[in-house]
Amino acid sequence: MNSSAWVRGLLASALLLLAAVSATAAPALQIAAAADLAICINELNATFAKANGNADVRSSIGSSGNFFAQINNGAPFDVFLSADLDYPRKLAEAGFADASSLTTYAIGRLVLWSSDPTLDLDRGFRVFADARVQHIAIANPELAPYGRAARAALQHASAWDGIASRLVIGDNVAQAAQFIATGNAQVGLVGAAHVSATKGGRAWIVPPDWYPVIEQGGIVTASGRSNPLAAKYLAFLRSDGGRDILRRYGFALPDRTP
């Protein structure tokens, strides 16, 4: 066999091997998930993967606003799970997501939380007058829907101006919850999901009419249109299995759509 024939044979074998590997590889899915899903996204992904050929489901956690900017700039996520409907809707309007796939998968609930059980959170925002409360954590209102909800609730209660100098701003709601859990902030406003996953401390449910409804929206991105797993994942979140997981972690759920 001459050298050129040997090279052609080697290349053919390599292509066959590559095709075999591709055929047996698990399908893959990339998800950009809002920070309030940090406590349950692994269970959601594992449950979905098991029902879909052990799909390789990978997720990144961060603020909805940051993911909005990244997807606008071509980040290769297949599914965007935002903590509001506005960011995914804007992506669809700009052509970076499939408008027909927009799904409300959960309703976020805002709570005042402290890891210090001696603070009387039954007083609601009046606890801010306690001398021990030196720092109050919220998510960034410019990037995180829970931050906007926190600001709206504080403004509704005429408390925003009085505590502005004591606010500790997290990049996202998960970081705000971490500030509270570690004691770097004595109290803060976070999602009910974070509190449900944490033992100890005290919580007070912020009246839902103090802030806009936190409708959490998922959407298939432009790059995810060609990935059949993307639409399947949103359908999974609407299924009994997906809803049960979300409910167990403290999320309220939207009414089922026909």
pLDDT recorded at residue 72: 95
Please, are residues 137 and 144 in contact by the beta-carbon 8 Å criterion? no
Residues 6+ apart with CB under 8 A from 22: none
> pTM of the full predicted structure?
0.82
Beta strand 103-108 pairing with 28-34:
unpaired
Q: How far apart are CA 33 and CA 157, in angstroms?
A: 30
3 state DSSP class of 86: helix
Please, are residues 220 and 231 in contact by the beta-carbon 8 Å criterion? yes
Write b or e for each residue in 84-120: b if 16 or more Cβ atoms lie within 10 A of its Cβ, otherwise e: bbbbbbebbeeebbbeebbbbbbbbbbbbbbbbeebe
Q: What CA–CA distances, in Å, run from 59 to 35, 113, 180, 218, 220?
A: 11, 27, 25, 13, 14
Instruction: Give DSSP secondary structure letters for 221-241.
Output: BTTTTT-HHHHHHHHHHHSHH
Encoded amino acid at 3, one letter: S
Encoded amino acid at 59, one letter: S
> How many H-runs (helices) and E-runs (strands) does the chain carry?
10, 10
Residues 6+ apart with CB under 8 A from 124: 112, 157, 204, 206
3 state DSSP class of 80: strand
| First-to-last C-alpha distance (Å) of the chain | 66
Kind and range of the H or E run holding 18:
helix 3-24
In a structure prediction context, what are the per-residue pLDDT tens digits for the chain, which is 258 residues long? 555 554 454 444 444 444 433 434 567 999 999 999 999 999 999 999 999 999 999 999 999 999 999 999 999 999 999 999 999 999 999 999 999 999 999 999 999 999 999 999 999 999 999 999 999 999 999 999 999 999 999 999 999 999 999 999 999 999 999 999 999 999 999 998 888 767 678 999 999 999 999 999 999 999 999 999 999 999 999 999 999 999 999 899 998 754
